[in-house]
Amino acid sequence: MRLADRRIIITGGGSGIGLETALRFQAEGARIAVLDRSPKSLDTARTHLPQAVVVECDVSHEASVQRAVEAAAEGLGGIDGICNVAGIGTRKSFEETTAEAMMTDIGVNLMGPFLVSKAALPHLRAAGGGTIVNVASGLALRPTEGRTAYGASKGGLIVMSKAMAIDLAKDKVRVNVVCPGLIDTPLVKDTSHGASFTPQQYEKLMDRRIIRRMGEAREIADAMLFLTSNESSFITATVLAVDGGGSMH
């Protein structure tokens, strides 16, 4: 098994990409702690991951993160890796974007990974090193209209991750980024058009992609598995676009 006995925190692990990643990692031998703030997602995690440590957590609040990470570390007996998947996505033009909307996206998408990684760092050091995989977005590589706050928060996450990789190399902690494209998940359905895509809207979206389809959550989970496993032992500060060629960066 590629993650035998690895102890991994997955934020946003009760739905979408996070849940798929948790299931994939568990199948590869990892012990999982799911951090999520949605009661529905927490129930889903408990149902589908009965062996996991499931903890309520709002990643944008430091006190909540500290409590959740300590509970995860206690339940798992330590921490070897983090997958920062939790995210939100405001869809408004620059003119429509308020300061509150900007800070909300930054609070979850940028400060969330910062706070979780910061709280887990002593445990990663105690384990002799580990991995951090942050989930940004293809929109951080190639922005589109109406995504000012979201794009800014995810773009900041890419730069922060590279800086983290430099600073944490001495602790044998590798930090990498996955940038999903348009993936068939609840987040996309909530922030794009979801099941109400018209044929014209769908074709317009596909015109931006070499592989002309939406991605699947399992395809992002596979990328995160690679960056968490020893197969990527010489990879850090890397940004991996898993977007069907949508960004072509």
**What span, in angstroms and rounded, lies between the C-alpha atoms of 84 and 98?**
25
Residue 192 lies in a domain: no
Q: Answer whether residue 2 is part of any domain.
A: no
Residue 119: inside a domain: yes
- Reported as a single tens digit per residue, the pLDDT across 177-230 is 999 998 887 655 554 444 455 677 667 667 777 887 888 999 999 999 999 999
Q: Is residue 108 part of a domain?
A: yes
Q: Is 45 domain-assigned?
A: yes
Number of domains, the chain: 1
Tens of pLDDT along 108-140?
A: 999 999 999 999 999 999 999 999 999 999 999
Specify which residues 9 forms β-bridges with: 33, 82
Gap between the Cα atoms of 129 and 170, Å rounded: 9
Catalytic residues: 150
Q: What is the model's pTM? A: 0.92
Residue 104 lies in a domain: yes
Q: Is residue 193 part of a domain?
A: no
Segments forming the whole domain that contains residue 134: 7-183+216-241
Reported as a single tens digit per residue, the pLDDT across 54-98 is 999 999 999 999 999 999 999 999 999 999 999 998 899 999 999
Sheet holding 239-242, edge to edge: 53-56, 31-36, 7-11, 81-84, 130-135, 173-180, 239-242
Picking from 75, 78, 38, the residue whose alpha carbon sits closest to that of residue 56 is 38
State how far the Cα of 124 lies from the Cα of 129, in Å rounded to an integer: 5
Q: Are 243 and 177 in contact (CB under 8 A)?
A: no
- What's 49's domain CATH number? 3.40.50.720
Q: SS3 for 123?
A: helix
Whether 11 is in a domain gets the answer yes
